[in-house]
Every structure is written in structure tokens, then in C-alpha cells.
């Protein structure tokens, strides 16, 4: 880890821990975690610090912990052993890091158990660290999605802070957005020369890496857009294909962007592709138009369902009123996921906490086909960052499912649907900040209208 020259988060970190102190009256210890080995100990996966740690400590320090109490921060970490400099160079020392992040005191790790009495924590997504948490606190640690006692109290307090973003977080999130927009443009430009999906992926990730950022999740760059989280890149690009690219940058301090565009490999949408693209875009635009503080995100999801259902009725693919089709979950045959999620330090922000962050306290996941994958079910407030990502997919596992098919036999014009065989998957996703007045789209600089996208690919 290195300390960025322009690191200026210390005042924000202080404000965050002071806010936490107003919500809870017990000490808190948050661990950063450690890197995992791939095939032998010295060959590790890239380290990613726990997001709850990052929120209060600011820097991705490996094998560290912070103790927060009454607005004060104590940093616990060991300086790198002397022989590590041979392989990894000189690392910043504990006291230097403590000064930069505005810690009130700093200690070696051996001191942590003596400061651990009655402290709350959140389980890190790493078994070795969870064991360490349990040992230091001398009690069992429950998974982050089902905390108990003071850990639950702490979890709720941290959620209430992380749900909305302060200026320091927004500065990072905007940077991630800027780099992500350029990555998508690079992917569009690379499409006409790339032979396989990996060629487009490399152009996109290359831009992100060139800005000294990483990806906030495994890139989805595929001509098989119906596979929602496709992680294969070997398919050849054919002129009639649609390329679906869901790629987002993550800043060095861990803040994420999450953007999807879908474009024609040839540079020109076919009439059928264009028809469906415009429906998805209409849903995207209508949802963003409705977002403001106080609006229920569940209603935003249902609005997207309604617009997609109506669009498919207008094309003759569905039969009936849009209201009835959504009530029957028929839209979910083609739009099976939720309209989006929280975005912040995690691409699905705080999803380590299960639905504790995404759902209001009195709401639970629906068992309905058309609502079960909704990740965010809350009233919106200013400072929240959410994605809006409607889509249309022809997923064989859904459309060929005998139960679903017979249930909706008469509500779908299956013959008409066959004419849209060249539309495997379309998604359009932007990162939308809820403001006092309405919204600010952090990724608005990336065009999404069909003609603009065609222009970027360079066929016109
Ligand atoms: N990139 C994953 C998602 O859009 O939720
Ligand atoms: Mn998303
Ligand atoms: Mn995405």
C-alpha cells in the first residue's frame, strides 16, 4: 500500500467516527482483513480491505484494525518486517499512516486484545480474519448478514451512515464514474477490430488500469447478454451480435462505479434490436426522472416493469394490460432482476449485510418471481447513490421452463417473440445520486441513445 500524495480524507474520517459515536455507546473494532493465497503463500490475490474498515480508516491497510470509541480512532498494525523491503519495497510505517488518517493513537497488533473488552464488530468476508476477530474479542462472531447483540446495533448504526454519501465519498465516486465512462468509450471504439469479447474487455480494463484503478467487480463483456453475470470472454464477435458490457472502476481508496451499455457489434442496431433497446432506454429514463428524496425505490422498480411490459405489448410480444402483466410477473420472463441497488464502497453496497442495508426494517424479500431479486427496497433520501439498470433478456432457462411457459401460454405471443431472436440481452445502467432537488447522474457523460451509441462505434 502507498499513501496517495493528495490524501485529504482525514477530516471526513473524523466526522464519520463522531457521527458513529452519537449512535452507539460501546467501543468498536473493525478489521481490514488480509490477502488470500492463490496457490502458494507468497502468491496472493490482490488485497481488498473490508469496506467497513475503509469507511472509517480511509486507506487499504492490510492486516490492520481500528478501534473507535467516543469519536476517537486508535490504529493497530505492525510495521513490515525488515526483509519484506527486499520484495515489496519500503512500506509506510504505522506512525506515518496514523498521522495521515488522523488517528488519535497507534499500537502494534499485540496490544489489541487488551483494548478489546465489550467491543462490537462486523465479520470480515475472510475466514482467517473472522477467526482472529473471534479470538481477540473472545466470543463467537456471527456472519455479517446475521449479527446479534451489540454487533447488530453497530451494523445498523454503520448502515445509517453509509446509506448516504458525504463530500469526501462523492469526490471518489465521481472519479470512479469518470474513468468508467472513458473505459466504456474505449470498449465501443475497440469493437470493430476486436475478434473476441476479450479484445473489448482488454480495451476497457486497460483504460481503468492506466488510471491506476482496478475493477469494482468482474467485468461482464459478452455477446451472450442473457447470462446476467457472464464471466467468459471467448466468444467471437459476429456482425449481428449485441455486445453487453457491464464494467466499473474502483478507486485506489475502494469507491466503485457500475455501468452497463449495450451496443451493436456491426455499429448499427437491427430493427428488432432497436425496438427493444428503445423500450429499455425508456424505462431507464422514466425511472431516473422519478427519483427524488422520499420516493420508494420499490415503486421505481415497478415503474420499469410497467414500461417494459407496455413496450412489449406495443410490439405484439405480450398480450393484455401492462398492469395485469406486471401483477402476474409476466414482465419478469424478460426482466427477471431488480432495477438496481445501492452503490458506494461496494458495487452492491453493504450486501455483505444481507438485506439489512438494502431493505427498510419492516420489509422482507418477496417470493414473487418479479420482485424476489430486488436488492434495494427503501425510501430514497438525498445523498444515496443507486444504480438504475433495466434490461431485457431471452434466458433459455426461463423461456423454456415448462411451468412458466404453460402458466403464461396465452399472455406471450411466442411466434412474434421468435422474430426477436437477435436480441439476447440488453441492459442500460447508470449511477444516479439522489439530490435534494432530484438527481445527478454521475455517469451521464456516457451516451445511451441508440444513434449516439452507433456513432461512438464509428459505423455511421
Ligand atoms: N455489475 C453488477 C450489477 O450491475 O449489479
Ligand atoms: Mn448494478
Ligand atoms: Mn452493473
Q: 53 C-alpha to center of ligand 3: Å?
A: 24
Q: What gap in Å lies between CA 174 and CA 180, rounded to an integer?
A: 10
Q: Is residue 449 part of a domain?
A: yes
Q: How far apart are CA 296 and CA 363, in angstroms?
A: 12
Q: What is the pLDDT of residues 249-292, one digit of tens each?
A: 999 999 999 999 999 999 999 999 999 999 999 999 999 999 99
- Assess whether 299 and 231 both reside in one domain: yes
Does one domain contain both 186 and 216?
Answer: yes
pLDDT at 459 over 80: no
pLDDT, tens digit, 9 for 90 and up, residues 71-80: 999 999 999 9
Kindly report the protein residue whose alpha carbon is nearest to atom 4 of ligand 1: 258
* Residue 2 maps to a domain: no
Pocket test residue of 258, 342, 385, 386 for ligand 1, highest count of atoms within 8 A of CB = 258
Closest CA to 116 of 150, 83, 142: 150
Evaluate whether residue 66 is within a structural domain.
Answer: yes
- pLDDT at residue 115 is higher than 60: yes
pLDDT at 185 over 70: yes
Indicate which atom in ligand 1 lies nearest the CA of residue 220: 1
**Residue 131 in domain:** yes
Distance CA 376, CA 296 (A): 10
Domain of residue 151: give its range. 10-162
Q: How far is the CA of 241 from the centre of ligand 2 (A)?
A: 22
| Residue 280, all three cell numbers | 429499455
Best residue among 246, 262, 344, 427 to mutate for probing ligand 1, ranked by most atoms within 8 Å of CB: 246
Mean pLDDT (the chain, rounded): 97
The domain that contains 46 carries what CATH number? 3.40.350.10
56 located within any domain? yes
Strands (E), 95-200: 105-107
**Averaged over 94-115, what is the pLDDT?**
98
Cβ neighbors of 344 (< 8 A, separation 6 or more) are 51, 162, 165, 169, 173, 255, 256, 350, 385
Compute the average pLDDT of residues 204-212: 98
Q: Which residues line ligand 1 (CB under 6 A)?
A: 217, 246, 258, 347, 389, 429
* CATH number assigned to the domain comprising residue 285: 3.90.230.10
Closest CA to 392 of 447, 320, 317, 332: 332
Do 95 and 173 lie in one domain? The reply is no
Which tens digits make up the pLDDT trace of 395-415? Answer: 999 999 999 999 999 999 999
Let me know the angle formed at the C-alpha of 57 by 51 and 63, rounded to the nearest 5 degrees.
Answer: 75
Whether 147 and 248 share a structural domain: no
How many angstroms separate the alpha carbon of residue 412 from the centre of ligand 3? 28
Question: Which of these three, 145, 162, 179, is where a domain ends?
Answer: 162
Residue 130 cell numbers, joined = 473472522
Q: Does 152 share its domain with 222? A: no
- From the number of C-beta atoms within 10 Å of its C-beta (0-12, 13-18, 19+), residue 409 rates as exposed
Q: Are residues 332 and 239 in the same domain?
A: yes
Q: Which atom of ligand 1 is nearest to the CA of 348?
A: 5
Quote the pLDDT of residue 13. Answer: 98
Residue-wise pLDDT for 39-60, tens only, equals 999 999 999 999 999 999 999 9
Q: Same domain for 117 and 104?
A: yes
Closest ligand 1 atom, residue 258 Cα: 1
Give the ligand at the shortest distance from the Cα of 184. 3
User: For 332-367, what is each residue's pLDDT tens digit?
Assistant: 999 999 999 999 999 999 999 999 999 999 999 999
Ligand 3 geometric centre to CA of 351 (Å):
14
The number of distinct structural domains making up the chain is: 2
Atom number of ligand 1 nearest to Cα 248: 1
pLDDT band (50, 70, 90) for residue 458: confident
**Which residues have a beta carbon within 5 Å of ligand 2, which is an ion?**
258, 387
- Residue 134 forms part of a structural domain: yes
- 136 by Cβ neighbours in 10 Å (0-12 / 13-18 / 19+) ranks as buried
- Tell me, in angstroms, the distance from the centre of ligand 3 to residue 201's CA: 14
| Residue with grid cell 523491503, as numbered in its chain | 85
Angle at 32 between CA 30 and CA 34, to 5 degrees: 140
Query: How many Å apart are CA 212 and CA 58, to the nearest integer?
Result: 17
State the distance from the centre of ligand 2 to the C-alpha of 32, rounded, in angstroms.
25
Residues 175 and 154 occupy one common structural domain: no
Query: Which atom of ligand 1 lies at the shortest distance from residue 337's CA?
Result: 5
* 190 and 331 co-located in one domain: yes
pLDDT per residue as tens digits for the range 307-340: 999 999 999 999 999 999 999 999 999 999 999 9
Q: List, in order, residues 6 or more apart from 142 with CB less than 8 Å away.
A: 123, 148, 151
In a domain, 25, yes or no: yes
Q: Which atom of ligand 1 is nearest to the CA of 341?
A: 5
Q: What is the mean pLDDT of residues 25-31?
A: 98
Same domain, yes or no: 361 and 262:
yes
Q: Is residue 61 part of a domain?
A: yes
Q: What string of DSSP letters covers 330-364?
A: -GGGT--S-S--B-SSSSSTTGGGTTTTTB-TT--
Question: Atom 3 of ligand 1 has which residue's CA nearest to it?
Answer: 258
- Distance separating alpha carbons of residues 428 and 269, to the nearest angstrom: 15
Q: What is the pLDDT of residue 206?
A: 98
Percent of the chain, pLDDT > 70?
100
Helix (H) or strand (E) holding 289: helix 271-290
Choose among 20, 54, 26: nearest CA to 137.
26
Residue-wise pLDDT for 119-144, tens only, equals: 999 999 999 999 999 999 999 999 99
Where a domain ends, among 121, 141, 162? 162
Q: Within this chain, do residues 216 and 89 fall inside the same structural domain, yes or no?
A: no
pLDDT of residue 167: 98
Whether 375 and 425 map to the same domain: the answer is: yes
Per 3-state DSSP, the chain is made up of helix, strand and coil in percentages (nearest 5) of: 40, 15, 45
Q: Is the pLDDT of residue 460 over 70?
A: no
Domain final residue, candidates 131, 162, 193: 162
What pLDDT score does 366 carry? 96
Ligand nearest the Cα of residue 259 is 3
Amino acid at each position: 500500500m502507498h499513501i496517495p500524495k493528495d490524501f485529504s480524507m482525514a477530516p471526513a474520517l473524523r466526522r464519520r467516527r463522531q457521527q458513529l459515536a452519537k449512535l452507539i455507546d460501546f467501543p468498536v473494532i473493525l478489521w481490514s482483513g488480509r490477502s488470500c493465497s492463490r496457490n502458494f503463500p507468497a502468491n496472493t490475490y490482490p488485497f481488498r480491505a473490508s469496506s467497513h474498515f475503509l469507511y472509517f480508516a480511509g486507506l487499504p491497510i492490510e492486516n490492520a484494525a481500528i478501534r473507535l470509541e467516543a469519536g476517537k480512532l486508535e490504529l493497530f498494525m505492525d510495521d513490515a518486517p525488515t526483509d519484506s523491503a527486499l520484495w515489496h519495497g519500503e512500506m509506510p510505517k504505522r506512525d506515518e499512516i496514523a498521522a495521515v488518517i488522523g488517528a488519535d493513537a497507534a499500537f502494534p497488533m499485540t496490544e489489541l486484545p487488551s483494548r478489546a473488552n465489550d467491543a462490537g464488530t462486523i465479520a470480515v468476508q475472510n475466514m482467517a480474519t473472522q477467526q482472529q476477530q473471534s479470538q481477540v474479542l473472545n466470543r463467537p462472531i456471527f456472519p455479517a448478514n446475521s449479527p446479534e447483540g451489540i454487533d447488530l446495533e453497530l451494523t445498523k448504526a454503520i448502515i445509517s451512515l453509509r446509506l448516504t454519501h458525504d463530500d469526501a465519498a462523492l469526490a471518489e465516486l465521481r472519479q470512479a464514474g469518470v474513468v468508467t465512462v472513458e473505459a466504456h468509450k474505449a470498449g465501443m471504439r475497440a469493437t470493430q477490430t476486436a475478434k473476441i469479447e476479450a479484445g473489448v474487455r482488454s480495451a476497457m480494463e486497460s483504460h481503468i488500469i492506466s488510471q491506476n484503478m482496478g475493477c469494482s467487480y468482474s467485468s461482464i463483456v459478452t455477446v451472450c447478454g442473457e447470462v446476467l453475470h457472464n464471466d467468459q470472454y471467448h466468444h467471437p464477435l459476429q456482425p449481428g451480435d449485441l455486445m453487453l458490457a457491464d464494467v466499473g472502476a474502483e478507486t485506489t481508496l475502494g469507491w466503485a462505479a457500475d455501468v452497463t451499455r449495450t451496443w451493436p457489434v456491426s455499429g448499427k442496431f437491427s430493427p428488432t434490436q432497436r425496438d427493444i433497446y428503445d423500450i429499455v432506454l425508456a424505462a431507464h429514463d422514466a425511472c431516473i426522472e422519478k427519483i427524488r428524496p422520499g420516493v420508494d425505490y420499490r415503486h421505481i422498480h415497478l415503474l420499469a416493469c410497467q414500461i417494459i411490459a407496455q413496450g412489449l405489448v406495443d410490439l405484439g410480444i405480450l398480450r393484455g394490460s401492462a398492469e395485469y402483466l406486471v401483477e402476474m410477473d409476466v414482465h419478469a420472463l424478460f426482466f427477471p432482476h431488480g432495477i438496481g441497488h445501492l452503490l458506494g464502497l461496494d458495487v452492491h453496497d453493504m450486501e455483505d449485510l444481507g438485506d439489512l442495508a438494502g431493505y427498510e426494517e419492516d420489509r422482507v424479500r418477496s417470493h414473487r418471481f418479479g420482485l424476489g431479486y430486488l436488492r434495494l427496497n427503501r425510501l430514497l433520501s438525498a445523498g444515496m447513490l443507486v444504480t438504475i439498470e433495466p434490461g431485457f433478456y431471452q434466458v433459455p432457462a426461463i423461456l423454456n421452463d415448462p411451468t412458466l411457459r404453460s402458466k403464461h401460454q396465452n399472455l406471450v405471443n411466442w411466434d412474434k417473440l421468435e422474430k426477436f431472436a437477435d436480441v439476447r440481452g440488453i441492459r442500460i445502467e447508470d449511477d444516479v445520486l439522489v439530490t435534494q432537488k432530484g438527481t445527478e447522474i454521475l455517469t451521464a457523460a456516457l451516451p445511451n441513445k441508440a444513434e449516439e451509441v452507433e456513432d461512438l462505434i464509428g459505423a455511421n
